[in-house]
Amino acid sequence: MLIPKGFLLGFSESGFQFEMGLPGSEDPNSDWWVWVHDHENMLSGVVSGDLPENGPGYWNLYKVDHDLAFKLGMNCARIGVEWSRVFPKPTRDIRVDVDRDEDGNIVWIDVNDVVLEKLDSVANADSVNHYKSILEDWKSRGGTIVLNLNHFTLPLWIHDPIALRSNGSSKAPSGWLSEETVVEFAKYATYIAWKLDGLVDLYSTLNEPNVVYTAGYIMVKTGFPPGLLSIKAATRAAKHLVEAHVRAYENIKRITRKPVGIIVSLAAIESIRQEYEDVAGLAKTLYNYSILDSITLGSSMITGSREDLRDKVDWIGVNYYSRLLVKPSKTPGFFDIVKGAGLYCNSKDVSITGRPCSDMGWEVYPEGLSKVLEEVWSKYRKPLIVTENGIADSRDVYRPKFLISHISHTVQALKEGVDVKGYLHWALTDNLEWAQGYSMRFGLVKVDYETKRRLLRPSALLFKEIAESRDIPDDMDLY
């Protein structure tokens, strides 16, 4: 299957998971830093005990990684910026005008030139310049840059999950539970666009906001901060994430005409029986589409109907790893997830339908990717990019077929009329997989965390063949 000219093939990375690893690269000013260093979390098994300062070292070794990506035929990089590096200290004293509607919702934040100049005076100039150097290095190779402004982490002055767990939201920086975070994020995001726009091709405001509020406040066993079980808190955080995206979008668009999007985690959601299709529809609405409905249609279960949120996105990033198999719940208005399929399998096991499962316990289900792309395109008619897709596979046993099958389904969706612009693999190198630590190996390139040496896995050479030939092998026995 031929890949059209201009189709993006590349990699995605984030700051916290990749940057640290060598002396001088540490960033102790984020919520995730204190979360994974917390001894209570380690003793209880909430986090692995692996620490980011022992990571792959992209902050220092970005040229090495860019060399590898370029040699593998990649033409696009999704690069993350860490808010806590740029503004390690509070910016709340730099005031902005905030407009509200009759219900008290934030409907406008004025991040004007005066505010940007003041932010520039307190920003960490070394960090800003270092990010500029990273972007310049990739651009010098002719690559496209998708700049992602937030990938889970928040500055500690915005969110202190340990203090929040101990003291309650009234006494600790409470992250997305606070309206202040909406205002401060708009300021930060606009500032980054103001400083780096000349090097950026596309922006993404937030990575997987649907994971942020579900993992932090509902599925608390995932090990995400603050790990507080509360539907009310999850709903509040979700609302603020929507508002943060929209208010940042509006201000970034005052600076640039470049596309501003959002990245969401989307599973292929299916019912265990055909007669339960309404349950699958409910699950899609709650998990896949609540954020997107808010910022495209201006109406969702999160926000209600709000015209100020309508059509505030230019493109949508799709992070896809597997499916969710669902069935009716005994609780009205909810659904239950079927264990043994999709994202709920055992590590290195076989799913209930006989499919291989990754080291993370995620079922390999490539046809779900084309289904998701077709659904999202049909529903919203916004350009799409597969911004994450990959497999935790330390032995590199499943990754070759995984690559071929998932890129094939992406290109097939394109051929069937879906406006999908590219496929970005997660990840170029191994990385810190949040609470799971370094045991989960997603990289096309293996990292020796002691020496920081990079070693190409066989699947990396397969990616190179696909990228350079612009052709996907069709003679492999796929799943």
State phi, psi for 152 to the nearest 5 degrees.
75, -45
Task: List, in order, residues 6 or more apart from 110 with CB less than 8 Å away.
Answer: 96, 97, 98, 99
Query: Do residues 320 and 386 make contact, with C-beta atoms less than 8 angstroms apart?
Result: yes
- Distance (Å) of CA 390 to CA 174, 218, 266, 364: 32, 25, 14, 10
CB 190 within 8 A of CB 252: yes
Residue 277 and residue 217: Cα distance in Å, rounded?
Answer: 27
Nearest residue to 152 (alpha-carbon basis) of 196, 195, 185, 187 = 185
What does the DSSP 8-state code read for residue 440?
A: -
Tell me if residue 26 is catalytic. Answer: no
Identified catalytic residue from 19, 179, 184, 208:
208
* Known catalytic residue at 208: yes
CA distance 350 to 355: 5
Token readout for 187 is 């300021």
Taking CA atoms, 270 is separated from 210, 289, 336, 352, 369, in Å, by 18, 14, 12, 14, 13
Residue numbers annotated as active site: 208, 388
